[in-house]
Amino acid sequence: MIDSRGGTGSLLVAGTTSDAGKSLITAGICRWLARQGVRVAPFKAQNMSNNSMVVGVAGAANAAHGATGATPGVGAEIGRAQVMQAQAAGVEPEVAMNPVLLKPGSDRTSQVVLLGQVFAEASATSYQELKPRLREAVLASYQDLKSRFDVVICEGAGSPTEINLRDGDLVNMGLAQPLGMPVVVVGDIDRGGVFAAFHGTVALLDAADQKLVSGFIINKFRGDPSLLTPGLRQIEDFTGRPVFGVVPWLPGIRLDAEDALPIEAYAAGARDGALDGGARLRVAVVRFPRVSNFTDVDALAIEPGVDVEFTASAAAVESADLVVLPGTKSTVADLAWLRERGLEPALAKRAAEGRPILGICGGYQMLGTVIEDEVESRRGTVAGLGLLPVRTVFDPVKTLTRPTGFGLGEPVGGYEIHNGQVRVEGGESLFTDASGAALEGCQDGAVWGTIWHGALESDGFRRAYLAEVARVCGLRFEPDPDVSFAAEREKQLDRLGDAVEEYVDTERLWRLIEDGPTAGLPLLPPGAG
């Protein structure tokens, strides 16, 4: 247990690779600390992800360093992983928790979001020129959080041992070094080679960086942990650093991954059966190359009897009960990809047969008649799929809002992140205001579209929509009236907190947070040779 002194420090959770589990371990640590009465905030200095969310703008750093052109009352955009971690910590997510967000639009360029607002478009080379300005905002945001919270748990990116990127690094050792922050490295044992990865991570760092790396956490272990005992002893002998814990594989965890689609989590988390032995409802989600906010379908995956599959198969699109076209960072390019994959005829056939299709944000824009884009792709006028009477015109100013309304007679809320402005020219409105006036979205037959992300997280609306899908498909499927998306998320966050408490040496972890890096750590060649 944490003593009465309370935490005043910080910790960087780094990883041997991308997708090693840094985001979830960080969330688990935040939940563990929050349970102990510690006021804790997550922090990721620089995040590369197309999974983002709109949050409020708060904190002194944001007022001092906000990007130009921000409109009062308009929200800010940060990575969804940091929103999830804030929820684990029991605090309101805010832009200071992720001051720099990179949103890849192609293999070579990314949109740079600084303190929640679009700052620049950059290539890997030109991004380096922005680093001084970004570093200022990163350090100011960190200090802002540190002044208002007992503890700040930072998440690294990729590996701290990207030696080609060490100069100018903002998020790994480049953050930990000037702040004297202790570092714990997470390794995914399911990939194999975790002990080599631990040793190499330390050995390739220079002496100053090595002094901060104080231990390891093994993640995603399946099997008898006693089999690891010899390896744990040897890696401590070889590096002089302990393994703080071995966290087992946690099946069914679906918590706002940054970019890796949680396909195994959907499969492992699928619930058996539907109510009263009714039919199962099959959902096919089109797997765009630049898919964004695929977390929109997490709310479908928690429903008993709903099977969610990400696919690029025309056959799967034809056979599913519901097809979802999710968001994308590159609407025009991913529309071209959809056509190249032969998905357009399958979607047209579904629409002609009155079988359900749901488009969200970029997917909604594709369903329209025309896309006029001189901003994102600069392709000009492009024909849409023609399945909804809407047209999209891209605007240089990004919309960031948190709207609310009513859909199918149920309260619904969401968030908007888009440059494409959709103009409805027919059909029926999907969402209305309290008076019943048209508010947003379009419905034409069984084809539905909305610019709102997160709408399916509203339990009443989600159940009503799934019931409508079942009715149209002639299925005897009834959504479970007791399923709560928010409650399910809390259960999953509690599972992470439980895992940290049970499988990680939290006493030693707390000493790192409070006292800083372990003194007298050995230095390994060749980095410290």
Measured distance between the N- and C-terminal CA atoms of the chain, rounded to whole angstroms? 39
From the list 30, 361, 442, 473, the catalytic residue is 361
Cα 279 to Cα 306, 462, 476, 479: the distances in Å are: 9, 17, 5, 11
DSSP, collapsed to helix, strand or coil, labels residue 119 as strand
Which of 57, 37, 42, 47 lies closest to 11, judged by CA?
42
Residue that is last in its domain, among 148, 183, 213: 148
Shared domain for 175 and 122, answered yes or no, is no
Asked whether residue 528 is assigned to any structural domain, the reply reads: no
What gap in Å lies between CA 200 and CA 164, rounded to an integer?
A: 15
What does the pLDDT average to over 37-44? Answer: 97
Asked whether residue 17 is assigned to any structural domain, the reply reads: yes
Please classify residue 216 by burial: count the beta carbons closer than 10 Å to its beta carbon, then call 0-12 exposed, 13-18 middle and 19+ buried: buried
Asked whether residue 375 is assigned to any structural domain, the reply reads: yes
Number of structural domains, the chain?
Answer: 3
Q: Are 50 and 296 in contact (CB under 8 A)?
A: no
| Banded pLDDT at 166 (limits 50, 70, 90) | very high
Structure tokens at 120: 């620049």
Asked whether residue 529 is assigned to any structural domain, the reply reads: no
Region of 72 please: left (phi>0), alpha (psi -120 to 50) or beta.
Answer: beta
* 526 preceded by a cis bond (ω within 30 of 0): yes
Q: Are strands 243-248 and 213-221 parallel, antiparallel or unpaired?
A: parallel
Residue that is last in its domain, among 115, 148, 181: 148
Least confident of 69-78, 107-116, 146-155, 164-173: 69-78
- The predicted-structure confidence for 235-266, as pLDDT tens digits, reads as follows 999 999 999 999 999 998 888 766 555 555 45
- The predicted-structure confidence for 341-356, as pLDDT tens digits, reads as follows 999 999 999 999 999 9
Q: Are 102 and 48 in contact (CB under 8 A)?
A: yes
Q: Which domain holds residue 314?
A: 275-477
pTM of the model: 0.91
Shared domain for 497 and 376, answered yes or no, is no
Shared domain for 98 and 164, answered yes or no, is no
| Banded pLDDT at 74 (limits 50, 70, 90) | low
Active site residue 361: yes
From the list 30, 442, 453, 473, the catalytic residue is 453
Asked whether residue 3 is assigned to any structural domain, the reply reads: no
What gap in Å lies between CA 152 and CA 99, rounded to an integer?
A: 14
Shared domain for 188 and 326, answered yes or no, is no
Active site residue 30: no
Asked whether residue 526 is assigned to any structural domain, the reply reads: no
Give the number of C-alpha atoms closer than 13 A to the C-alpha of residue 340, restricted to the C-beta side: 8
Asked whether residue 4 is assigned to any structural domain, the reply reads: no
Shared domain for 52 and 104, answered yes or no, is yes
CATH of the domain at 349: 3.40.50.880
Residue that is last in its domain, among 99, 122, 148: 148
